[in-house]
Chains A and B, each alone.
Chain A
Amino acid sequence: MARSTSRLSRKRLGEMYRTMLRIRRFEETADDLYMVGKVVGGVHVSIGQEACSAGVCAALREDDAVLTTHRGHGHSIAKGTRLPEMLAELMGKVTGLCRSKGGSMHIADVSKGHYGAHSIVGANMPMAAGIGLAYQLEGKDQVAVVFFGDGASNNGAFHEAMNLCAIWKLPVVFFCENNQYAVSVPAEYSTSVDDISVRSKGYDAPGLTVDGMDVAAVYEASREAVAHARRGLGPSLIEGKTYRFFGHSRGDPHYGMYRTKEEWEGWKGRDPLIVCEKMLKMTAKQKKAHADAVEAEIKEAIEFAESSPEPEESVALEDIFA
């Protein structure tokens, strides 16, 4: 498993830390608001997996594309999605990114190259191939990154999309967040290989497994895969080994049903924020500066979302056809 080297500048790593903290606090806030009934619908937080979101997106340009999953808040934030409009979407307000019609599972901010969270497992991967195809056809050097889980890597859509990207040399990076479980089903049981990255071999594409709790390692692997795609050499598959600290979705406890407390505690000890704080040898004062800045941003997002109106009923019948 690839771990980070120390080539990264402190400034760059500090930015990634900030991104991870923004994700963490946004999702904790969304979860709190869910508990009091202000956030509705299917909400899946990625707390514990922030290094994957932050590390990958740090390797992208603003005009590159990402596509994500039902567990997509982190990728969205790391790609530049605005927090107030995102929270408004979760709270069913008309100012939300998708005018309140998509919710947490379908967050998108196309102006930021975010082509959507896609809640049908696997669905985003063929679409990523298509976005890569569009870039290639127009001679652009943009890259599409698609995030998916260990569970999704067992879906035909993954294999079909990988093969398409490989034979057409499409500029797509497949990033698998292997958080060890698909709802209750362990990857160990459901998946034919220990390291999902070896599946790239079947498509003659580069594959690498990295420590998904180490944002620098994720960043370095992503930078290479993105450069490979930009040069017209085709897809890569990166697997980040990671863990969700929360249950699959609301109502599913952190541990005790299909995950043991020991396992959970083991991964908690490798919290990507703490790993990064250690790498940066952060002082308490530095930590507080980050925390204060993020808190202000969260507060602003809550105020915006709370004060935004609900949609008129007619909104339900808009945007059906172009």
Chain B
Amino acid sequence: MPELTYVEALNEALHEEMARDEKVFLMGEDVAFDYFGVCSGLADRFGRDRVRDTPICELGFTGAGVGAAMAGFRPIVDLRFMDFATYALDPIVNQAAKLRYMLGGQLSVPMVARIPSGAGLQYGATHGQSLEAWFMQVPGLKVLYPSCPSDAKGLLKAAVRDDNPVMFIEHRLLYAQKTKQDVPEGDYTTPIGVAEVKRAGADATIVGIGYQMGHCLEAAEALAGEGIECEVIDPRSLTPLDVETITASVRKTSRCVIVEEGHLRSGVGAEISAAIQEAVFEYLDAPIGRVAALMAPIPVQTKLEKFVLPSTEKVIAAVRKALGVSA
């Protein structure tokens, strides 16, 4: 199997989907220049019409993406930082998500919004948010968040082929990861709405979202050294959410910790936790733990940023708490 980094996997997906379907095009700020490597080689191969630089106008170009999708294209808009998506909330939340419904099914909006998210680079409160929970609140939007290269490629290809607006969440620190991973050969997609069990274990379930999967796997490895076997689950798709895979695991382990980078209040963890207790309340032996960003804007200062964000240590502590064991 070929080995790719996260960035290379995204890049390959874009190349393949643009070659496969000429209705697919990409637009956003600096996409032709390719600041992060994700768009590497696209402008040269497909031309500036299909790899289209935009002015700094997230409302404008995302709205134009919705319009092009209404008229039969499959645009991918690149919002560069999730924080900037706030300028594009009208086209995403009021238009893309609802048009098909409001128009009684007359059209669909097959647009992908690529939304790199996340903190950890000392960019501060307006360049490091994880707002994926906001999008989960909106009927009509699909929300995907791959944590590894093979899902990055498979889910992005699935997103492009999906007939609905898809929020495709990426993470800046996953861009920075230089480690390569096996990615299946050829034209494959990762199914939307199917979680993956990343590691099997019987003592506790850890559900990890996006970039935080790395901390979850590290925590599971460390806890295994103490004889605590964690089952680690990556939902990959937040909407639709594969509740069955998660609850099947909790039935087995009776304890669960959910880890995300977004803020704790009304976060992804709150939703998953509610879904678990609705389905398998009687199996739970401890309150469901949540590890998330503290309820503070993301500070620039390195030490403060670390303090606010989730970490491997915080995941380990939450699992120990769920199991009632001390360090």
Contact = CB atoms under 8 A, between A and B. Distances in A.
A182 to B, nearest CB: 6
Interface stretch (B50-58, B162-170, B253-261, B319-327): B50-58
A152 B56 contact: yes
A320 to B, nearest CB: 6
A126 to B, nearest CB: 12
Interface residues of A, number: 35
A35 to B, nearest CB: 15
B134 interface: no
Contact of A101 (B30, B127, B294, B304): B304
Interface stretch (B65-73, B105-113, B117-125): B117-125
Interface in B2-26: none
A257 B33 contact: yes
Contacts of A40: 122, 300-302
Interface of A: 40-42, 92, 100-103, 105-106, 119-122, 151-152, 154-156, 182-185, 189-191, 257-258, 310-311, 313, 315-317, 320
7 contacts: A42-B122, A101-B297, A119-B124, A120-B126, A185-B53, A189-B53, A316-B301
A184 B33 contact: yes
Given A156-B59, A182-B29, A106 B295 contact: no
Given A100-B300, A151-B55, 6 more contacts: A100-B304, A103-B124, A121-B56, A155-B56, A315-B301, A320-B297
A310 B303 contact: yes
Interface residues of B, number: 35
B56 A182 contact: yes
Contacts of A41: 121-124, 300
A257 to B, nearest CB: 7
A191 B55 contact: yes
A152 B297 CA distance: 24
A291 to B, nearest CB: 31
Contact of A184 (B35, B59, B127, B308): B35
B294 A119 contact: no
B83 interface: yes
Contacts of B121: 41-42
B42 to A, nearest CB: 14
B60 interface: yes
Interface string B118-159: 000111111100000000000000000000000000000000
B84 interface: yes
B188 interface: no
B299 interface: yes
B280 interface: no
Contacts, number: 119
A313 B296 CA distance: 12
Nearest to B80: A183
B307 interface: yes
A155 B57 contact: yes
B303 A313 contact: yes
Nearest to A121: B56
Nearest to A119: B126
A154 B55 contact: yes
A183 B29 contact: yes
A320 B46 CA distance: 47
Contacts of A184: 30, 32-33, 35, 53
B52 to A, nearest CB: 11
Contacts of A122: 56, 87
Nearest to A186: B53
B30 A120 contact: no
Contact of B55 (A105, A190, A257, A310): A190
A105 B87 CA distance: 19
B316 to A, nearest CB: 19
A156 B29 contact: no
A38 to B, nearest CB: 11
A100 B59 CA distance: 31
B57 A154 contact: yes
Nearest to A156: B59
Closest 5 pairs between A and B when the two form their complex, measured CB to CB: A103-B300, A154-B55, A184-B33, A41-B122, A100-B301
